[in-house]
Amino acid sequence: MFDIDIIKLAWMSLWRRKLRTILTMVGIMIGTAGIVIMISLGAGLERTITGEFEEMNMTSIEVYAPYNIMGETDTNDIKNLTKDDVLDLRKLDGVKAVTPIYNYWGELDIGRERISGQLVGVDMSDAEDLGYELEDGRFPRNNEIIIGSKLLEDVEEITGNNSVIRKAVTIITMSMGEESIENEYRSRVVGTLKSTGGNEDYSAVMDIDILIDMVEETENRSNIVQTDGYESIRVVAENTEIVDQLTKEINEIGYMSYSTQDLLAGIGSISKYLQIFLGGIGSIALLVAAIGITNTMIMSIYERTREIGVNKVIGASVKDIRNQFLYEASFIGLMGGVAGLTISYVITLLINFIAGMIINAQAETAVSINIAYIPPWLAIFAITFSIIVGVLAGLYPANRAAKISVLEALRQE
Amino acid sequence: MEEIIKLKKVSQHYKMGDSVVYALSEVDLDIYSGELTALVGPSGSGKSTLLNVVGGLTKPTMGDVFIYDTNVKDYSENQMCLFRREHIGFIFQSFNLNPTLTALENVTMPLIFARVDSKDREKMANDALDLVGLSDRKDHKPGELSGGQQQRVSVARAIVNKPKIILCDEPTGNLDTKTGKEILELIKEMNRVNQITFIIVTHDINVANQCQRKISLQDGKIFNDERN
Ligand SMILES: Nc1ncnc2c1ncn2[C@@H]1O[C@H](COP(=O)(O)OP(=O)(O)OP(=O)(O)O)[C@@H](O)[C@H]1O
Ligand SMILES: [Mg+2]
């Protein structure tokens, strides 16, 4: 199948016309790089997002109080999320568990170190049904806490100690009012949580009623649930199939809610469209490049008519001539593809580097960002595709070259 | 002596608008193995056409062309290429060398198309160039060679595959008298030593007189055929 002698001839004749070969190749290179970079942006986005959401509970629905655009006159009577709302939501069909969620800012003293983190209160009596999984230890009782996976990393790094379980901690609640008051509560870490992909990862999680007691004491107020309401209510459906239906029902009551599924589906389809759109632009660039190859090859045939005729006289078969030109075209495609892929790698590195700088400057943390990502299939696809483009672009010129009449070719000067 | 080329009532017609040009009309011809034949005649008499028909570069409108005992008239273009590869060499007036390749590379080309093993190629091409007396110009490109030297390269290219038939269309036409003589001597030597059958189209009566046989064409017909 591979005729090494004809391949060598093809290579030699490209080499003889280095400049033109390179210029033609540049077209393919740009086209391939265009497609690869654009698809890699989409792929990177998708990977980042799905990576972020992978651990999330696909059956959970986050419920919020409706945002009142129209002001006080709105007929909607749900203003704050309270215990009644929790009870109402629990009554819905297909609900497995419901918990109110309350967040408060605080700090933890572990050993001699002080670590800031969020305090998240949930209904600990239902922890397992809510989808919380323990990495280690047990769920808390009374005012004990468990630590989210990301917070655990911080704690281990700062204390230099990787067994926080059963360690005594002091929870420091801080009121954010006019005068800041701090209260301290002696507590104990009893477990660590598996990642949920949510807020809990960065938080110390404890029972909501106890957290609210602490907050009321710190701020010296009572009934804060009645006045401020919960942050949100999390509804966990019995299975993934009914999540959509349940979300709709909850919204019909008048809440604002969305499920992790919604979020993923939305982002997934945006990224799909983005990839198709960007890949399309690259494809057009490649099409233009393909026309470039065809054009160059036809020019080359005009110039080489005599050479082709002579080669036929001295023993080249029709197939030899055709194959030589096809190989030339596919070499241009292959080299363009490899060059395009190479710059794509460089450019994606640059994109990720720059994006990382911008994001890290704002977030003051060191996150490694993968906005653009070239999966292996994309690299293989890019090379294969550019070779195919080369071959297709070379088909017409190659057949034309093969059909050249010897006598007419020899008559040409 | 056996007949190596046999033409039977070969005609070549070209339609030019309403009129028809009879480049060859009903030519019968036998060429014997090892013969050195000159083909002469006025311009337009059909000499090149006859040569091209024998070499399979063009198909006759009518008639049969036997080489050995094969009627190549029925061959497809591709079959003809493969046949030519093995049996027929060509030498042209204007050399028709590839200007981008060295002498050695030019001579190697037929071996590449004939799929000769790459190990043997270089030796065969070198031998051919030695035979035509170009041992010291192997790495020169045609542009760096004189006309006579270029024609030697094309002789080497024609013989490298060891064909039994070599067709020459005015091989001395672009050369001065002295260089032309040298090329003819080379051809005569190839004919004598290697028993290659040559047909030489020429306008040069001196060249024709040195061949064993002289065929004269006029208006597409053989009107004289004599042996010296
Ligand atoms: N492709 C063609 N189309 C039309 N007519 C052609 C073609 N090829 C040759 N002829 C005609 O056929 C006749 C013979 O041509 P040919 O080339 O064989 O002559 P020749 O004997 O080689 O002449 P010269 O000595 O000038 O080379 C001429 O009249 C020529 O015009
Ligand atoms: Mg002629």
* DSSP code per residue over A230-241: -SEEEEEESSGG
Question: Nearest CA to CA, how far is B228 from chain A (Å)?
Answer: 31
Q: Which residues contact B25 (CB under 8 A, 6 or more apart)?
A: B11, B219, B220, B221
Predicted confidence at residue A328, as pLDDT, reads 94
For residue A134, give the H/E element and its range. strand A134-137
CB atoms within 10 A of CB A140: 21
A358 touches chain B (CB under 8 A): no
What does the buried/exposed string (b/e) look like for B67-97 if buried means 16 or more CB atoms within 10 Å of the residue's CB? beeeebbebebeebbbbbbebbbbbbbbbbb
pLDDT of residue A361: 64
List Cα–Cα distances, A94 to A90, A98, A247, A249, A259, in angstroms.
9, 11, 11, 11, 14
Looking at residue B181, its pLDDT comes to: 92
- CA of A408 from ligand 1 middle (Å) equals 12
List chain B residues with pLDDT less than 70: none
For A91-128, letters b (16+ CB in 10 Å) and e give eeeebbbbbbbbebebbbbbeeeebebbbbbbbbebbe
| Rounded alpha-carbon distances, angstroms, from residue B77 to A302, A305, A402, A406, B51 | 21, 17, 10, 10, 17
Q: How many residues does chain A have?
A: 413
Is A411 strand, coil or helix?
helix
Q: Which ligand is located closest to the Cα atom of residue B41?
A: 1
Å between B104 CA and nearest CA of chain A: 15
CB pairs under 8 A between A and B: 52
Structural tokens at position A279: 């890949």
Where are chain A's structural domains?
4-53+265-411, 60-238
Q: Cβ separation of A317 and B96 shorter than 8 Å?
A: no
Residue of A405, A407, A408 best suited for mutating to test ligand 1, as the one with most atoms within 8 Å of CB: A407
For the sheet with B62-67, list strands across it.
B19-32, B3-16, B62-67, B70-71
Look up residue B193 and give its amino acid.
V
User: Which residues of chain B are within 8 Å of residue A315 when distances are taken between CB atoms?
Assistant: 81, 84-85, 109-110, 113-114, 161
**CB neighbours (10 Å) of residue B126?**
18
Site from B96, B97, B167 to mutate, A interface, most A CB atoms within 10 angstroms: B96
Q: Which ligand is nearest to the CA of B40?
A: 1
Nearest atom in ligand 1 to B49's CA: 18
| Residue B178 CA, ligand 2 centroid: distance in Å | 22
Nearest to A316 among B81, B90, B97 (CB): B81
Look up the ipTM and state it.
Answer: 0.93
Q: What local confidence, expressed as pLDDT, does residue B179 receive?
A: 92
| pLDDT score for A365 | 46
What are phi and psi for residue B20, nearest 5 degrees?
A: -120, 130
- For residue A407, give the chain B residue with the closest CA: B57
Q: pLDDT 10s per residue in chain A (413 long)?
A: 568 889 999 999 899 889 989 988 988 898 888 888 888 877 777 776 666 655 566 788 888 887 655 455 444 555 788 888 888 888 888 888 999 999 888 888 887 888 888 889 999 888 888 888 888 888 988 888 898 888 888 888 887 777 777 888 888 887 766 677 788 888 888 988 887 767 788 888 999 999 998 888 888 888 888 888 888 899 988 887 888 888 888 888 888 888 877 776 776 676 677 677 777 877 888 888 889 889 989 998 998 999 999 999 999 999 999 999 999 999 999 999 999 999 999 988 888 888 777 766 655 444 556 778 888 999 999 999 999 999 999 999 999 999 999 988 988 76
Chain A touched by B110 (CB under 8 Å)? yes
Verify whether the Cβ–Cβ distance A407 to B57 is below 8 Å: yes
Contact assignment for A315 to B52 by CB distance below 8 Å: no
As residues whose CB is below 5 A from the ion ligand 2, the structure lists: B 48
Q: How far is CA A167 from the centre of its chain?
A: 37
In sequence order, the β-bridge partners of residue A114 are A109
Cα of B43 vs centre of ligand 1, distance in Å, is 8
Kindly list the residues from chain B whose CB atom is less than 8 angstroms away from the CB atom of residue A314. 85, 89-90, 109-110, 113, 157
Tell me, yes or no, if A264 comes closer than 8 A to chain B by beta carbon: no
Ligand 1, atom 31, residue with closest C-alpha: B44
Q: Give the closest residue (by CA) to ligand 1 atom 2.
A: B14
Q: Does B162 touch chain A (CB under 8 A)?
A: no
Interacting residues of A103 by C-beta distance below 8 A, sequence separation 6+:
A118, A119, A120, A121, A199, A203, A231
Q: CA dihedral defined by B158, A306, A313, A320, rounded to 10 degrees?
A: 120
The answer to whether residue B85 neighbours chain A at the CB level (below 8 Å) is yes
Q: What are A185's strand-pairing partners? A: A171
**Nearest-angstrom CA–CA distance, B96 and A410:** 8
Which of helix, strand or coil describes residue A410?
helix
Q: From the CA of B82, how many Å to the nearest CA of chain A?
A: 6
Atom of ligand 1 nearest to the CA of B220: 14
Q: Ligand 2 mean position to B96 CA, how many Å?
A: 15
Cβ-contact A94, A242 below 8 angstroms? yes
Contact B78 A313 (CB under 8 A): no
Please tell me which of the candidates A9, A314, A319 has its beta carbon nearest to residue B110.
A314
Closest CA to A309 of B90, B87, B103, B152: B90
Sign of the four-CA dihedral B15, B19, B24, B26: positive
* Tens of pLDDT, residues A98-126: 999 998 888 888 878 888 888 899 998 88
Domains in chain B (CATH in brackets) are 3-227 (3.40.50.300)
Give the C-alpha separation, B28 to B9, whole Å: 5
Give the tokens for residue A401: 């070259």
SS (H, E, C) B113-139: HCCCCHHHHHHHHHHHHHHCCCHHHCC
Is B16 near ligand 1, meaning CB less than 6 Å away? yes
Chain B interface includes A154 (CB < 8 A): no
Q: Nearest bound ligand to CA B21?
A: 1
- Among residues A102, A106, A103, which one has the least CA distance to residue A182? A106
Nearest CA to ligand 1 atom 30: B44
B181 contact partners, CB below 8 Å, separation of at least 6: B172, B206
Q: Which pLDDT tens digit goes with each residue over B10-64?
A: 999 999 888 999 999 999 999 999 999 999 999 999 999 999 999 999 999 999 9
- How confident is the model at residue A260, as a pLDDT? 74
For tokens 């036998």, the residue is B30
